[in-house]
Amino acid sequence: MTAAARKTTVRRHPERAAYDREAIDAILDEGLIGHLGLVGGEQPYVLPMLYVRQDDALYLHGAPASRLLGSLAEGSRCCFTVTLLDGLVLARSAFHHSLNYRSVVVLGHARAVTDPDEKLAALEALVEHVLPGRTADARRPSKAELKVTEVVALDLDQCSAKTRRGPPVDTRPDLSLPVWAGELPLVVTAGEPIPDPHCSVPEPAGLRSYRRGDG
């Protein structure tokens, strides 16, 4: 497909766009939740959802009774967007203030995952996406639990990334204004773990140094 033919072609700030899967996958793998867009009647709905990428698809899960997930499983058109907010961009002018970010937009039709092996693999991958190594510790899903979990897959054949990075871009006359300008990076870090009131098992190693991404 040519870039011009894709619905995912970035039109505003095309210099910020990327279409290669390496760039796209890096963002999808670092993000924890995304925002799912669906249409009901003529009304768009946007809901936050956990997801995981496995090879060439995103997997989402939920309760089978969920209207939105049911509509997804029936193949409605959807959009799934993952955004990583990297920092504030503080310019000398109000106008040139911005945010540094990396985002991915995936368009398509989801499909219900009915194969038991694919379903179990997707659910394990979802837990691993939240906390690597966790599937080795936690009790695996029972047949009854698998039955009450709907899993849908969204193929990554229509997707694009958009990134803004770097310092503010002020106009030349503004450079002499006595205003601090630059970037303020934002990072997501773990706070103090809070054990469940019934828990007497030692805390897993590495929990306090939890970070998304390689950074």
Through-space distance between the first and last CA atoms of the chain, rounded to whole angstroms: 33
The least CB distance from residue 155 to its own copies, in Å, is 15
**CB 107, CB 158: distance < 8 Å:** yes
Nearest CA to 121 out of 139, 141, 138, 145 is that of 141
* Residue with Cβ nearer its own copies (7 or 21): 7
Residue 79 or 153 with smaller CB distance to its own copies: 79
**Dihedral of CA 138/153/72/156: which sign?**
positive
Distance, in Å, from the CA atom of 144 to the CA atom of 133, rounded to the nearest integer, reads 24
Residue 1, interface with its own copies (CB under 8 A)? no
Scanning residues 62 to 81, which ones bind its own copies (CB under 8 A)? 62-63, 65-67, 77-81
Q: Determine if 42 is a binding residue for its own copies (CB under 8 A).
A: yes
Query: In degrees, to the nearest 5, what angle opens at C-alpha 100 toward C-alphas 210 and 58?
Result: 60
Q: Which of residues 101-140 bind its own copies (CB under 8 A)?
A: 101, 103, 105, 107, 123-124, 126-127, 130-131, 134-135, 137-140
Tokens of 150: 């709907």
By beta-carbon proximity to its own copies, the closer residue of 22 and 178 is 178
| Per CB under 8 A, 45 contacts its own copies | yes
The only residue of 18, 53, 59, 92 in contact with its own copies, by rule CB under 8 A? 92
- From residue 157 to residue 176, the character string flagging contacts with its own copies as x (rule: CB under 8 A) and all else as - is ----------xx-x---xx-
Query: Least CB distance from residue 29 to its own copies, whole Å?
Result: 16
Specify the residue for token string 């109000």.
Answer: 94
